[in-house]
Structure 1
């Protein structure tokens, strides 16, 4: 037995008809969102400053690891720029609290023009230790 909604009536000519089609909504279509221009960049579709493709890497030797990371993020124009760090003593200790470590050296060297996708590695020791 078919539901009443599924019943299809036949016209005398033998053509099948179904329930009347819905009439289109009278609501206007949504307008696409306007893209905003990032201030001072001339680039549309982004918010905030746009990072350059390359930047000059500062020399972070002797700085606290956290400050070195903050510096690189600032000069790269990317607040999420990732830097790596390794124990300079070779003991493979993890830098859990970056503010407790100091930079002994870095790769690439300070003053190098680096690509925004570069990997920057800081070689570090604890604040109360001497660099090897």
Structure 2
């Protein structure tokens, strides 16, 4: 999914609003280490665990769309693995499989 700066800011705002709508919400899950997985698999796993806001970005900074997520590999993630609120924005930074992570 292609995310320009404005779209990413909107996603951050929406995720923050969702989290603040119910400040007593403490629903969490263990966000696994998704680094090294293909992008489709990592996104599917985060979704299956209940994370509501999962987006991907080109780790090279070139702004390329991650079309065909099975051809992309996760280089880094934010937040880091660990117990995370389900309303948190999960950003997966990816490169094509034949490229090195920056």
Q: So what's the TM-score if we normalise by structure 1?
A: 0.54
Other-structure match for 1:54:
28
Structure 2 residue 95 is the aligned partner of structure 1 residue 125: yes
Describe how 1:30-49 pairs up with structure 2 within 5 A. Answer: none
Q: Distance in 2 between matches of 1:114 and 1:107?
A: 11
Bigger proportion of residues as strand = 2
Q: In the comparison of the two structures, how many residue pairs are matched? A: 77
Within a 5 Å distance, the mapping from 1:81-92 to structure 2 comes to: 81-92=52-63
User: What CA distance in whole angstroms lies between the structure 1 residues aligned with 2:48 and 2:54?
Assistant: 12
Where does 1:45-124 land on structure 2 (aligned, <5 Å)? 53-76=27-50, 81-111=52-82, 113-124=83-94
Instruction: Give the Cα–Cα distance (whole angstroms) in 2 for the partners of residues 69 and 82 of structure 1.
Output: 10
Runs (4+) of structure 1 exceeding 4 A deviation are: none
RMSD over equivalenced CA pairs, Å: 1.5
Scaled by the length of structure 2, the TM-score of the pair is 0.69
> Of the two, which has the highest radius of gyration?
1
After superposition, give the CA deviation of every residue in 1:32-81 in whole Å (9 maximum; x if it has no partner). xxxxxxxxxxxxxxxxxxxx8211100000000000011112222x6xx4
Question: Would you tell me which structure has more helix in proportion to its own residues?
Answer: 2
Higher relative contact order (CA 8 A, sep 6+): 2
**Residues 87-129 of structure 1: CA deviation (Å, up to 9, x unaligned):** 1111110112111100000000012x21121110000000111
Segments of structure 2 that go 5 or more residues without pairing to the other structure are: 1-25
Q: Which runs of 5+ in 1 are unaligned?
A: 1-51
CA contact under 8 A between 2:53 and 2:87: conserved in structure 1? no
